[in-house]
Structure 1
Amino acid sequence: MNAVRTVLGDVPPERLGVCDAHDHVFFASPRLPGQELAGVRAARAELTAFREQGGGAVVQWTPYGLGRRAADLPALSRETGVHLMAATGLHQDVHYDEDTLAALRGRLAEVFVTELTRGIGTSGVRAGLVKVAGGFHALDAHARWSMAAAAEAHHATGAPVAVHLELGTGALDVLDLLCGELGVPPQRVILGHLNRSPDLVVHRQAAESGCYLAFDGPSRAHHATDWRMPDAVRALAEAGHGDQVLLGGDTTTAAARSVDGGPGMPYLLRRVVPRLARAVGEDLVRRILTRNPARAFAVPWH
C-alpha cells in the first residue's frame, strides 16, 4: 500500500490535505549568511499562518547538511496540525565545504538510504524524499554523483526524487540521466522551479515523460515573473498534463517568511492560488494542491 512518509510516521496519502509541495521550515547555507531559517518559534508561527489559510501539509526540501533540524519537526507538526515531510539528499556543491563533501565520498547512497529507512541522525525522523540539484543548463560531476546516489536510494526504498533545477533549466538533461541512464521511473521524479524558466515547449517535453512539474516560489528580481506561471500551467493542462503539476512556496530566507514581512508559506494560498484559479479553474487548482501531491509523494516503501 502506498503511503506518505511524514515526520510523524507513514500516513495514507489522502490525509495530506492542501499541500505546499516545496518549501523550507528550516534552512541554512553559507551562500545566505544572516538569513538562516533556524528559529523554532518563527517556524511555528509560519506553519500556523499556513494552516490558517487552509494548508494541511508542507514538504521540506532541505537536504543533508543544510540545517534541517529534523528533531524539531515532529513537535512542530503536532503543535500546528500541519503534516511535514523531511528530505535527505544533497544540494549543489557551492552549499558545502570540502570536508563535508569529502566525508561523503563512497557512501552517499548509503547515507540517503539510512535517512530514508532509519532516520536522520539521532532524531528518529525518517526522510520521505531525496532532494538533489542540477546546474544552470548543465549537469556537472557533482550533480551526476548526487543523482546517481539518489537513484540508488530510490531503487532501494522507492523514495521519490525531487530536483532543484537551477533557474528552472536543465529539465531534459535531468530526465535523461535519472530516468534514462539510472532507471528511476519518471513518475517518481519531481522537477522543481519550472516557473523560473517558462519555456512551454520544454515543460511539455518533460511532462510527456510522466514526471511531476513543480511551480514553486514567487518571483524574484532575476526570475521570470509570476504572471507567466498561470499560462504555463494552463498549457500543460490543455495538453493533458494537469495531474502532474505541483505548487510550492520555497521559502529559503528569514526575510522571505511572512512573520518577518515577506510572502512566506501563506502567500501560496492567499495570492498564488486565486490567481491561478482565474486561469485554469478552481477544480484543477484543488487537484494540484491535494490529489497531485498525494500521488507524487506516496510510494510503496520497501
Structure 2
Amino acid sequence: MRAVRTVLGDLAPDRLGVCDAHDHLFLRIPALAGQELDDPAAAEGELAAFGALGGAAVAQWTPFGIGRRAAGLPALSRATGVHLVAATGLHQAAHYPPELLERLHKDGLADFFVAELTRGMLDGDDPDGPRGTARAGMIKVAGMFHGLDGHALRVLAAAAEAHHATGAPIGVHHEMGTAAVDVLGVLHGEWGVPADSILLGHLNRFPDPGVHRELAASGAFLAFDGPSRAHHATDWRTVECLVALAAAGHTGQLLLGGDTTTAGARALTGGGPGMPYLLRTLRPRLERELGGEAAEAVFVTNPARALSARWRDDP
C-alpha cells in the first residue's frame, strides 16, 4: 500500500490534501549568506498563512547539511496542522565543506540516505550528531548548469540505490531549470529508478516546450516552482507551459511549489510572495485557464502520487 512519509508518520495519499510540492521552511547555503531561513517563528507564521488559505501539506526539499532543522519539523507540523514531508539527500558540492562530503562518501552515502528514510533524520548538520524519530519522506539531489559534475553523479547513484532499498521518491534541483534530460538519463535510464518516482524541479526557469514534452513523455513528474521571481521566467510563461503540457495530455504529471529560499521572500516577514501566493494567486489562474478539475490534480492528486511510495522495510 502506498503512503506519504511525513515527519509525524506515514499518511494515506488521499489524506495529504492541498500541497505545496516544493518549498523550504529552513535553508542555509553560502550563496545566500545573510538571507538564511532559520527563524522557527517565521516558518510557523508562513505555514499558518498557507494553511489559512486551505493548504494542507508542504514538501520541504532542504536536504541534510544546509540547515534544515529536522528536529523542529514535527512541532511545526503539530502547531499548524500542516503535513510536512522532509528530505534527506545532498545539494551541490559548493554548499558543503569538502571534508564533510569526503566523510559521507567514505561512510556510504546510500546507507546514510536509507537510515534517514527508515530510522530517522539527524537532528543537526553533524553526521555524528543525535538522530531524531522523524523520518525523511524523499531524497533531494541536484544537477549543475547544463550538465552533471562528479559530485552530482555520485549523489545520483546513491539516491538511486536508496530508492531501490526503500521506494522513496527523488526530487531534483535543476540549476536554472537545465540538465533535466541528463538527470533523467542517469536516474531512470542508467540506474533504473521508475520515472514516476522522480520529481524534476525548477522547470519554469527553462521554459522550453520541446524539452518539457520530452521529459513528460518519460512519465516523470514536472515541478514548476518559485513563482514571481524577477530573475526567473515570469508567471505568464509558467502558466503557458502548464497549459501546453495539459493540452498534450500530461495534466497528471504537473506539480507547483513556492520554493521560498530566502527570508526576504516570505509573505509574512519579508517581501513575498511566499507560500500563500500559490493558493491566493496561482490556483485561481489555473482554474481559469484549465478548469477546476485540472487545478485539483495539480494541487492535490498529483502531489499525493508523486510524494507517496510503497515503502520497504529497513534493509
Would you call these one fold, judging by a TM-score over 0.5?
yes
Give the deviation of 1:276 after TM superposition. 2.2
Asked whether the equivalents of residues 187 and 210 of structure 1 are also in contact (C-alpha less than 8 Å), the reply is: yes
Q: Distance in 1 between matches of 2:195 and 2:275?
A: 28
Alignment partner, residue 293 of structure 1: 303
Distance of 2:232 and 2:21 partners within structure 1: 20
Residues 270-293 of structure 1 show CA distances to partners (whole Å, capped at 9, x for unaligned) of 111122222212220111100001
User: Residues 24-63 of structure 1 correspond to what in structure 2 (within 5 A)?
Assistant: 24-63=24-63
Q: Does the CA-based 8 Å contact 1:137-1:170 persist in structure 2? A: yes
Shift in Å, 1:189: 0.4
Is the counterpart of residue 270 in structure 1 residue 265 in structure 2?
no
| Residue 219 (structure 1) shift | 3.5
- Could you tell me how far apart the structure 2 residues matched to 1:274 and 1:67 are? 33
| TM-score, normalised relative to structure 1 | 0.98
Q: What CA distance in whole angstroms lies between the structure 2 residues aligned with 1:90 and 1:13? A: 26
Matched, 1:239 2:248: yes
Give the ranges of 4+ consecutive aligned residues of structure 1 lying more than 6 Å apart after TM superposition: none
2:98 maps to which residue?
Answer: 98
1:193 equivalent to 2:202? Answer yes
Equivalent residue number for residue 124 of structure 1: 133
Q: Deviations over 1:101-146 (max 9, x none)?
A: 1111231111100100001122211000000000111111111011
Aligned length: 302
Counterpart contact for 1:231–1:279, Cα < 8 Å: no
Alpha-carbon distance between aligned partners in 2 of 1:275 and 1:142, rounded to the nearest angstrom: 39
1:218 aligns with 2:227: yes
Letter in 1 for 2:227: P
Q: Which amino acid aligns with 1:192?
A: G
| Structure 2 residues without counterparts, runs of 5 or longer | 123-130
Deviation per CA, 1:183-205, whole angstroms, max 9, x where unpaired?
A: 10001000000001110110010
Separation of aligned partners in 1, 2:10 and 2:275:
23
Give the RMSD, CA atoms, in angstroms.
0.9
Q: Which one-letter code corresponds to 2:280 in the other structure?
A: R
In 2, the alpha carbon distance for the partners of 1:282 and 1:95 equals: 40
* Partner amino acid, structure 2, of 1:19: C
Aligned pairs for 1:246-257 within 5 A: 246-257=255-266
Q: What secondary structure sits across from 1:258 in the alignment?
A: coil
Between 160-169 and 219-228, report the one with greater CA deviation: 219-228
Query: Structure 1: where are the runs of 5+ without partners?
Result: none
Give TM-score, length-normalised by structure 2: 0.94
Could you tell me how far apart the structure 2 residues matched to 1:221 and 1:259 are?
19
The answer for the alignment partner of 2:142 in structure 1 is: 133
Q: Quote the Cα distance in structure 2 between the aligned partners of 1:27 and 1:41.
A: 14
Matched AA of 1:133: A
